[in-house]
Structure 1
Amino acid sequence: MNKFFGANGLLASDSELFVFRKEQLEYAKAVSKTIESEGVGIVEGGTGVGKTLGYLIPHIEYAKQFGGRILIATRTKNLQDQIFRKDLPLLKKYFDFNFALLKGRENYICRGRLKEALERSELFKELDYYHALKVLEDFDEKDETGDIESAYDLIAQFGKEGRMALNDVRATDDTCTSDHRNFCRHYRALRDSEKSLVIVANHHLALLWPQSFPEVRYAVFDEAHSLEDAATDLFGPIFSTALIRSRLRRLYSREKKSITILSKFSRAEIEKYGIFEIVEIIEELKILLSEFDSLTLSKKFDSEIKRRIKDQELISENWSQIVDEAKRVETAVRKLSREIFTLQKKMEKEDESNVLCEKINKSALSFEEYANYAENIFRIIPVDKSVLWYESFPDRPITYRRSPINVGPMLVENVYNKFHSVILTSATMQVSGEFSFMEERLGIISPETDNSLEESEVQKTILLDPCRRIAPLSVGHPFDYKDKVLLCLVREESENSSEPLSIAERIMEIAKLTQGRMLALFTNKLRMLEVKKNINLDGIDVLAQYEDGSRYALVRRLKSNPNTVLLGTRSFWEGIDVPGENLSVVVIEKIPFTSPGEPLYDARCEGVGKDWFMRYALPTALLTLRQGFGRLIRKEDDSGIVVILNPGKKSYISKILRTLPECKKIDANFESVLAEIKEWWAK
């Protein structure tokens, strides 16, 4: 690795932007060791280490010598774009190789659906829906990757009509057919991937990685601190009538007959294949879905967005009624799936194995999957390895989920055991200087057994072969936090110090000193919006998530105008990259503990036993805190202030300080903190 990362290595001699960092060299050596050992290991590197080159170069060099394809998976689109547009092109100077960016098909515009939607709307050119379609058409022609997320801001001006247009042109499995392969973005990306040594994807796609995708030998999961969340989403069944309705609309709709699958059959074929029988089942199913929604909405607790369904509720009359209604839906969905499969067989007998037959097959498989999910959620008795819960929003059907409490065994079986080597990396993989929490959550080591649990409650897990575990390593960070960062822990005894008005007053006091340049992080949406109402600053823009634009647009405004205070919740704690003076202050409302009542959180706390706070609640909060802290220093000459308005109990302050980089610290009342900030800022 010295050949590339040494003080006189290839990168140093050929790149004006390269700065030798001993941390990057150590990082690359650790990655190389894991690959050569066919291992699974955590390698942590702080912001500024140069992690992407640190794992790309060892993998490419090894794969060029021994063969195999490399999969790089990230959580955020920003990092995917950085790797694809900046880091990999740079390495073309040193290696002869191809690379590709691959996303799930739903991230692309289907050009066939776009063409149909435009033709259907030709007579209504004055409508926002049509204008949104034209904007999407222009975007699809000009954007390099065609990632539909990049079009969100472009169609925001069209409101509901824009969102409807986007949904009508989004690629789906039953529109992604063989006749589209020559001009379909998704198939083009797959073709590029088959010819590539390196594939860049997101966590969800990497965890799924269908057999039809190009074979991969080496895997890197960047931003791996969030891998448990992605695995929880992917490995747990979900049941929503909205999903079934969406699929039904693509199969048959009275309102949009011309663009549905069944509309492609001629009158003669409708008679010949018995399409009317399928339509009758569809109409019956729609009635059952409405009855199911009416029943479940009448049984839900209106005050709760998320609610866990506990064991004692599974024998209640309310749940029995829901299960009975769910069985009727499941039966109807299975019946529809069988009829569609029958239609497919009739078409194949007539030697009509065409694109329409392909769409019919995909619809049948999808309805079969929905029926299996319904059975899994409503008819199978929960075991202690999963949590049953629902999610409810105004004016939407309830979504039911069964989520795994521990995704570790699933990662071992479905991910680690599939690849020659796996690197799990991030700037935040340790809690209070230790890796054990993250290794347990990701299935690398076995969770500790709590003696308070009954033997029947202890989960039997699939464990990673100990021989494959590579000892975790942190290479630290290259930045001088001691001189660059002032960490302020605000101590107040008054009861109203955590009230929105008090928080707003403190944000205003700090912002007046710094003239904005601030990101304020919250754990609760309603509290954040209440704080914003009480902030009044002359000459400083006050922006809030949910009210003033998309995440991307808000960050762009902070980058372009330093006189800004930006307020955000959970999604703003990570992935926000604003180097330079425009972000000089990060205010953290409080230690980001998950609120009790969140179904997965509660179940996982129970799963670790009586020491749940120290073994799960505090570590998860501290990992999020590290991410929030990390928004401040993005490059070597950055500096600034982090203020934690409510740092919590003194009993775990030591753990907080061990979790964060060592920097100048003040732990005092707000008056003293403000004086220290004023003195620091004057320097």
Structure 2
Amino acid sequence: GGRDANALQDDGRIAVWNGELTAFRDSLRWCCDTQNYPEWAYWREGGSLKSSCVNGSDLIPPAFDDDEIKVIALSATMTVDRSFEYWANETGLAPDETAVLDSPFDLPSLMEIDVVDLGLQVMSPGYADAVARVCRKYARENGGATLVLLSSRRLLTAVSAYLKMNAEKDRLNILVQGDLPRTDLLELFKENERSVLVGMASFREGIDVPGEALTQVIIDRIPFPHPDDPVGEARAKLEGRENFVKVVLPGAKMQLRQAAGRLIRTGADRGRVVILDGRIVTRPDWKILNSLPAVPVKKYRLVGARK
């Protein structure tokens, strides 16, 4: 009897192992056979081969084919320039009815936007240092209660190191994404109003810190995708010359609004959004400010920046 049980157990293990190997073989074959490019992107990341759908507009609608399914989609950041066109194009879902509602808060009296032109390209040698110095100035001036959102791990490392180096002098508590689990970081941030929380793109969403614990959000630049992003590269190939206007710019506007939305969470909140990207002003054709709350805007330029 015992031998039969062991044999069954072994058979089960072999079946699982066989299933895993088959799945591995199919995935490897899919990634190596790149015939679905550019609808799908394929790339190597470390020791892995990866693949991702580039546009969900063909995959999402079949999930809602059933006439019995009624969908109500709600978000503070679904529209771009008060239009659902970008959302509809990305999801493939054509809305039957739409409504755009204004904020319930009197935002012009609750917040302002500072635009700081660093006078430097992202890849300039002094760029990270300039971002770090401006972040420190604003965090110190605000007495903490600041969320810093950065677009790369390189900047996260440089800015957090600079803030930590001056933390004792500035009497600031510096919390950095990756040092602790996200929930722990948020708890510490809420507990100490002299805190600065430094994070990356994932911190643009799902952070709800009302009141005096968060009165300033600093965003290092318009959140355009990294030029080497394999999914973005494939999408550019797919869309051609319309890619920037149809995909890249609306996506960046939506993400910028999500980031700015961390600031005012209740009608009693006050604060400032600081964006370290002069293109918001120097590229009026992009209409970035139009996609942000209509609040007072102050413009600054960093003096002495090295080109």
Place the TM-score, normalised by the shorter chain, in its bin: 0.7 to 0.9
Q: Deviations over 1:598-646 (max 9, x none)?
A: 1001111221111221111111111111111000011111010001011
Pair 1:558 & 2:192 matched = no
1:663 aligns with 295
* Aligned CA distance change for structure 1 residues 474 and 541 (closer, same or farther; 3 Å): same
Q: Could you say which residue in structure 2 is the equivalent of 1:416? A: 64
Q: Which amino acid aligns with 1:562?
A: E
Distance change >3 Å, CA 266–CA 620, structure 1 → 2: farther
Select the structure with the greater relative contact order (CA < 8 A; seq sep ≥ 6): 2
Mapped pair 1:402 → 2:51: yes
Cα offset, 1:483, TM superposition: 0.6
1:618 to 229, 234, 249: 249
Q: Is the 8 A contact 2:38 2:235 kept in 1?
A: no
Spell out the pairing of 1:196-595 with structure 2 (5 A cutoff).
266-267=2-3, 275=10, 343=11, 364-379=18-33, 381-392=35-46, 398-413=47-62, 415-418=63-66, 420-445=69-94, 469-493=95-119, 499-535=127-163, 536-537=166-167, 538=169, 539-546=171-178, 548-595=179-226
Q: Equivalents in 1 of 2:286, 2:250: separation in Å?
A: 13
What CA deviation, in whole Å up to 9, does each residue of 1:533-552 have, x standing for no partner?
A: 22213311112112x31111
Q: What letter corresponds to residue 378 of structure 1 in structure 2? A: C
TM-score by length of 2: 0.87
- Find the partner of 2:283 among 642, 645, 651: 651
**Percentage of matched positions with identical amino acids:** 27
- The whole-number CA distance in structure 1 between the counterparts of 2:145 and 2:84 is 34
Which sections of structure 2, spanning at least 5 residues, go unmatched? none
Asked if 2 retains the 8 angstrom alpha-carbon contact of 1:519 and 1:587, the reply is yes
Would you say the 8 A contact 2:221–2:275 is kept in 1? yes
Displacement of 1:669 after TM fit?
2.5
Q: TM-score, normalised by structure 1?
A: 0.41
Does the CA contact (< 8 Å) of 1:633 and 1:639 recur in 2?
yes
Q: Give the unaligned 5+ runs of structure 1.
A: 1-264, 276-342, 344-356, 393-397, 446-468, 672-683
Q: Which residue of 2 aligns with 1:45?
A: none
What is the alpha-carbon distance in structure 1 between the residues aligned to residue 37 and residue 114 of structure 2?
Answer: 45
Q: Distance in 1 between matches of 2:127 and 2:118?
A: 12
Q: Which structure has the highest helix share of the two? A: 1
Length, aligned pairs only: 295
TM-fit CA distance, 1:424: 2.2
SS at match of 2:183: helix
Matching residue of 2:227: 596
1:416 counterpart letter in structure 2: F
CA pair 492-522 structure 1, distance change in 2 beyond 3 A: closer
What CA distance in whole angstroms lies between the structure 2 residues aligned with 1:504 and 1:665?
A: 22
Letter in 1 for 2:103: H
Letter of the 1:563 partner, please give it: R
Separation (CA, whole Å) in 1 of partners of 2:162 and 2:113: 25
- Secondary structure of the corresponding residue to residue 433 of structure 1: coil
**CA-atom RMSD in angstroms:** 2.6
Q: Which amino acid in structure 1 is aligned with residue 148 of structure 2? A: A
Specify the structure having the higher radius of gyration (Cα).
1
- The superposition leaves residues 433-474 of structure 1 with CA deviations (integer Å, 9 ceiling, x where unpaired) of 2211111000125xxxxxxxxxxxxxxxxxxxxxxx413322
**Separation in structure 2 between the aligned mates of residue 614 and residue 585 of structure 1, nearest angstrom:** 30
Q: For 1:664 and 1:484, locate their aligned partners in 2 and report how far apart those are by CA, in whole Å.
A: 10
One-letter amino acid of the counterpart of residue 609, structure 1:
G
Q: CA deviation at 1:477?
A: 1.5
